[in-house]
Structures are given as structure tokens and as C-alpha cells.
A and B are shown apart, each in its own frame.
Chain A
């Protein structure tokens, strides 16, 4: 029997966040699939609010780090300080030791800070001095990037982008949604919903998601999509890696669980493929010259593969 709690979590988030349904769903999918999310969008589109609501709904610990050019790796992971009273070194854990970590404007910090965070995301542990500290479980990093102000930023290297399970682009709300935002936030300070699910629920969902069945025809469909990204598209320099193949399967399983199914449908793969693949494909210079949209290129690529 599949639990209905993942949908309860998305429902709790949409009670605070107006529109951006794909963002809310992607956060819950990444949580189930045990991955991290990169949110890209201009300021004011509820990126931070979404992350805060997710932490509140889970009753987990939430930490926010504003990435700036003068940030140091120790500001993220923690450091050792000398306690004069005890005459010994003591470890002070950094803000990364939380269940939900918001890395705001990740591309504003230099590479060494980014790599400290991304290493912790991958290894799920941090070594400070002689001691190794495991990160809490569940642990999810939600990083944001603003595509507009590129001056003074440090773009994430391709290999590090691959560490994010999903990259989600936020769009401006529709007129109706904007009116709803006005109604909801102008009158009262809307508080996030607390306790829609527990951290233990999340671990149970992950176990359930691992049991979700993927038919061999759908596995072939996933492999075909990834293979097509490697076959000489004029706008694609390098296609997606096998890590993308695995990510597609994980997220498709999470999507099936979220929709209350114990098997994956081709629709699950088609829905999640753009946000899994977009940041894992290297585009050619020609894409920028032709002012083509990477999002559309990936969507066309996925659509051109025949579903089973």
C-alpha cells in the first residue's frame, strides 16, 4: 500500500506558495529521490519562501546561507576553535548541518566555497580537523541562482552542476496567480504550514520509492533519451552522462510515488526529463549565437524519442 503523505506535503506547500506548482513538486521529488535542487530564476519569485516552507512542513532544521564573494569554506562546513578555558580545540559545526539547507545565490561565492558545499552534498559527511561528521538524514540542499546579474559571479563548473539532481527554472506568475499573491500576502503575513509530514516519513517514502517497479520498456525509453542527447545535435556539445540515466530512473520512481502508483509510466519520464537533463547537457556556442532556448532544445529532444 502506497502512503499518501508525499501529496500531503505538496498540498501543504501550495497552501502558502501561489502558483509555481512545478517548483513545489520538484522539491518533493528531490526529497523522495534523495537529491538536491538548483533553482534558477530572477529575484522575487518565492525561491526562498518555497525552501522555508519545505523545512517548516517537515518540522526539520532549516539553515540559510547567503553566498557572497568573501565567504570561506569554514563558514559553510564549520571550523575548530581554541577554547582557552578548556585549553583544547572545540569543533563548531557550520550551517550545512541541517535537514534543509538553502544556498542562496550559490554562484556569488568563489569556487573553493562552492566545491566545499558540493563535496558535502555528494559525500553526506564533512571532515573538520581530525574528525568526520555525518550530515543529518534527510539532507537536502536547495541552491538558487539569479540568471540576470552575471557580473561578479562564479559560474558553477559543469561537473559540479551534475551533483544537482534537478535544475528548475522559475517563471513569472500568471495574472490570476499574481492576483492571488496579492490577496494572500497583502492582508496578512501568511505563515508556512508546519508538520505536514515528518523526517521519518521522508525516509519511509525513500524506501517505498526504491520498490517502485520500472518496466523494461520504460528503462529502454530512459536509455534512448539519454543516448539521443549524445548523437550530434547541432546545439549539443556533450550529451548527458550515465549519472543522468540513473537520475531519470530515481526521479521517475519518485514521481510515480507522488502520484500514488507503484509503477512508473512513460509520462513520468517525459515530465521529469527536462529538469533532470537540462543542466547535464553542454550546449554549443551556436545555441547562444542563434539565441535558441536550451529549455526548448531539451524539450524537443525528449519529445522526439518515441515513448513505449
Chain B
């Protein structure tokens, strides 16, 4: 426990025995909630503990906060549990929490700091389930292959009675399914309205590897959007998405001109 001098204000006079920050896991999983608990033990009976500052962190989302306090004759245990979820892999630092109070041992105003936490976010649960599923599939396929080999060996030992000749079948015609992009473009040719423009914009955004909610400048910085033709398309469709209603037709013409009339594939 480290204590720092804090500005003298209207602070509570406390005997701080311990001040800790703990997590229920040191390796939280991606998108799986975990708990960080702040515990303060006091050698005083305090009805309501004030000036407790929660830890700082960058990245995880706070889902909830549960506070509980138990008091005895000359003791108080204050516990606050933060339920967090991480959205990005990698090291995660939960900074120190702190409490500002007058230290009853020497009568000086102090800032009591908790420890900080160094966690590591890893293991996409979806990925681990997928890995397990893949392993099971591999086992099943291996088993089936073994059964097939055994059956083949047994059949080869039997005498051949007749050979059935199967006439050669003509190859099935290859049907080219229209891509999402082509569908969106065809819809725009058929229906020239804002909603259809926005649909095409979403598809182009996806092709550029962008997430919904990004702005055009961010999308254009992505490596997938380095292609000059795709950049032009992104810019044209952005214009059509936000231009005034009376200029929408002209903007759609520009979008379609970018794609040509022959149906360009991306």
C-alpha cells in the first residue's frame, strides 16, 4: 500500500488496514465478462465510505458495478466489484484505485493507492469452440477413413462377379451466383433511392475491410482501399449517401458511371 499526500479537504479520518485490487482471472477471454474487485479494510466503523476513486482502464467496457459494505464494532469492509468485458486482445492494465482520507495514525491527509493489475486478454471463445469443433471433425473423418479402408480391403478379397459400366454424364452447367456487390449495384440501377445507395455503400465498405461506423477517411486508410478504382467508388458512393435530395440523381449517375454498365466485379 502506498500513501501519497493529498490536498486537505473535508476528508474522513480512517485507519486503513488494506486496500487491494483483484481480478477473478489474469487472462480474461475476449468478449467474456470478468470481475475486478476493489477491497478496502478499515479499523473503524464507517457508515458510508467517501472519496473512493475507481481504477482507470482503457479498452474494456464496464457492464456493471456492485458495491457492498459490511461493518462491525471497529471494522469496515468495503467491496466494489466492476464487471468488465474486453473487446481487444493483448495486455490490459487496470490502474490503481485510490482513497482520499485523513490517516488516523498521524492526522495527515493522504491518498491511499491500491495495487494495479496487469492482465492479458486472449482466446477468442468463438475461436476456441471452432478449434474444438475442427478437432472433433478431424477425428470423425479419420475414423470414417479407417472404416472405408478396412471395408475396401475386405471387398478386394471377394471374387469379382460383374462390372457395371456407368455411362459418362455430361458436366453440369456452372451457374455463377451474383455477388452481393453485383446485387446491390443492380438494385441501385432499378431503384434510385437513398436506401439502395446506403446498401451499396455498406457492401463497398465491407469490400474495403471496414467496420460499420467508420468514416470515409478511415476507410480510405485501410490497405484494402489502396486500389484506385475502389477508392473512386467509395468516394462516389459517399457523395450519394449524404448529398441533398435534389442532387441525389446526379450523384447516383456518378456512382453508376464509376461501375460502368457492363457489371464490373470487385
Contact = CB atoms under 8 A, between A and B. Distances in A.
Interface of A: 213, 215, 217-218, 234, 262-267, 270-271, 286, 289-290, 292, 306-307
Contacts of B214: 307
A213 B194 CA distance: 15
B243 A266 contact: no
B238 A265 contact: yes
Contact of A263 (B95, B215, B217, B244): B244
A265 B54 contact: no
Contacts of B215: 265-267, 270, 307
B244 A213 contact: yes
A234 B65 CA distance: 14
B217 A286 contact: no
B56 interface: yes
B213 A218 contact: no
Nearest to B217: A267
Contact of A234 (B56, B242, B244): B56
A56 to B, nearest CB: 32
B137 interface: no
Contact of A306 (B213, B216, B247): B213
25 contacts: A213-B242, A213-B243, A215-B241, A217-B242, A234-B54, A234-B56, A263-B239, A263-B242, A263-B243, A263-B244, A263-B247, A265-B216, A265-B238, A265-B242, A266-B215, A267-B215, A270-B217, A271-B217, A289-B53, A290-B95, A306-B212, A306-B213, A307-B213, A307-B214, A307-B215
A263 B213 CA distance: 19
Nearest to B211: A306
Interface string B224-250: 000000000000001101111001000
Given A217-B242, A262-B247, 6 more contacts: A213-B242, A218-B242, A263-B242, A264-B242, A306-B212, A307-B213
Contacts of A306: 212-213
Contacts of B244: 213, 262-263
Nearest to A256: B242
Nearest to A292: B56
A307 B212 CA distance: 8
B243 A290 contact: no
A158 B239 CA distance: 38
Nearest to B246: A213
Interface string B26-63: 00000000000000000000000000011010000000
B216 A266 contact: yes
A1 to B, nearest CB: 13
B101 to A, nearest CB: 15
B57 to A, nearest CB: 10
Contacts of A292: 56
Nearest to B251: A263
A217 B213 CA distance: 12
B97 to A, nearest CB: 11
Interface in B197-213: 212-213
B136 to A, nearest CB: 38
A287 to B, nearest CB: 10
Contacts of B213: 306-307
Contacts of B95: 290
A278 B244 CA distance: 30
Contacts of A215: 241-242
A225 to B, nearest CB: 12
A280 B215 CA distance: 24
Contacts of B241: 215
Nearest to B56: A290
A306 B215 CA distance: 9
A292 B215 CA distance: 26
Contacts of A263: 239, 242-244, 247
A276 B264 CA distance: 42
Interface in B65-110: 95
